[in-house]
A and B are shown apart, each in its own frame.
Chain A
Amino acid sequence: MPVRTAWTVVTVSSLILLGAGQALAGFEKVPEPGSLSLLASGVAVLAGAGWWLRRK
């Protein structure tokens, strides 16, 4: 696996886990300002899917 691909997979996976972790740990905080990790997670999901589809 090329280094760039590995970094992309690691970054996207970490962000998804981070967001999912926050969502599970404190759902009551989600409607409040500052759920940056949830946002990062969503961005990572969409970016990862787009990147994967283009590679296919």
Chain B
Amino acid sequence: VLRGVGVLGMLATHIQSFSSVAAARANPTVLPDLVGVDRAIWLVGYVLADGKFLSIFGVLFGAALAIGAESESATRRHYRRIMLLFGVGLLHGFGLWYGDMLHAMAVCGALAFLYRGLSPGRQLAFGLVIFGAGSVIWAAVSWAWLSHPDAVAAAQAEWAPSAQAIAWEVSRYRGGWLEQMDHRAPAALASMTSALATRGLWQLTGLMLIGSALFRLGVLSAARSTRLYGAMTIIGFGAGVPIILYGIRHSSAHGWTLADFTVVGAQLNYWGGALVSMGWIGLAMLLCRHGWQPRALEAVGRMAFTNYLLQTVICTTIFYGHGLGLFGSVSRSEQMAIVLAIWIAQTAGSLWWSRVFLLGPLEWLLRSATQGRRLPIWLRSAPRPGVAAG
């Protein structure tokens, strides 16, 4: 269920990067028409969704690591799967959309696997330390970076691009696949190197260890008390939302300059975002404990890998030049209408697929490639495999 919530929730955030200039996702001042309902949509998305569902995926990836056996063949299978995931991530990031998360999941999944023998308590402690290290490293890099005015000016130009730069980015994505590469390739490279090194590596590896510990403690199986999940929900949203809102208020008061956002807003979103993610997990578990078992979300979650990549294929076809070419021409409220339509299509499609097949098409391909043999895919041909967390 959680995986289903995560993969659908992610689209509400990712649609901004699919449909408009990269800087507009975090910086609300980039596009002048962000007022009224559109501004409210950005605000709700930034506070409750942006990065929060990625964190949930990190936690769930960690839970999956906890399920794996300790044998040598299981280790070999894990690293084969990680290599395949990394390969798909590279193709996805450079070939279709620079916002790929699979490469980061693969790198961090390989690292988190090394900590699998630790007790849940130690995994939780090291997870928190590694997650915290991400914040410290980001702060150290930011402070050092601020002492280089030329670098700050260059980055500020990307953070708040000129009308000319916006027009160039729009023209790239309204063009053919090769023209899109002018923006996509450097953006994907930045995401896979500097962004991963200074932040994602620590954030996701830490969350995976936390997820592994929480799963082993029964927290992700709705097996703990209602009181615990209630506390997770109240503390997660109750503390996380005000922290992120304060960051937005602070950034607005300082004109949304990158120098200020890097030092204050980004840090508050890092910690506040983790709390909000815990709030989402607590809420989902709370609902599950009260008999909420939506089959549609289960079906979407069971084929999360397929649905995630399918979202890219659908959205790049709608917004990029090799498809309808609507990049840069869709408002935030129109984006939400498209998100809703894709949610309905993916939910209905996943439900239908799960009635006929054992695994999603890409899940089947990945597992078959990992195990080096063609696995059964038809529901009638083999028993249904066990479902992981949530």
Contacts A27-B141, A30-B144, A50-B111 given; does A42 touch B202 at CB 8 Å: yes
B201 & A28 in contact (Cβ 8 Å cutoff): no
Q: How far is the CA of A53 from the CA of B127 in the complex (A)?
A: 13
Q: Is A43's CB within 8 Å of the partner chain B?
A: yes
Q: Which residues of A contact B144 (CB under 8 A)?
A: 23, 27, 30
Q: Is A10's CB within 8 Å of the partner chain B?
A: no
B150: nearest chain-A partner, CB-CB: A28
Q: Is B310's CB within 8 Å of the partner chain A?
A: no
Q: Is B267's CB within 8 Å of the partner chain A?
A: no
Contacts A28-B150, A42-B201, A46-B201 given; does A34 touch B111 at CB 8 Å: no
A54 & B145 in contact (Cβ 8 Å cutoff): no
A28 & B145 in contact (Cβ 8 Å cutoff): yes
Dominant SS among interface residues on chain B: helix
Report the contact-size class of chain B (Cβ under 8 Å from the partner). 20 to 34
B186 & A33 in contact (Cβ 8 Å cutoff): yes
Q: How far is the CA of A30 from the CA of B231 in the complex (A)?
A: 39
CB under 8 Å from chain A, chain B span 98-154? 107, 111-112, 114-115, 117-118, 122, 126, 130, 137, 141, 144-145, 147-148, 150-151
Q: Which residue of the partner chain, among B111, B193, B197, contacts A47 with CB atoms under 8 Å?
A: B111
Q: Which residues of A contact B115 (CB under 8 A)?
A: 50, 53-54
Q: Which residues of B contact A38 (CB under 8 A)?
A: 193-194, 197-198
Q: Which residues of A contact B112 (CB under 8 A)?
A: 50
**Can you name 9 A-B residue pairings with CB atoms under 8 Å?**
A23-B144, A31-B141, A31-B155, A32-B151, A33-B190, A35-B194, A35-B198, A46-B201, A53-B115
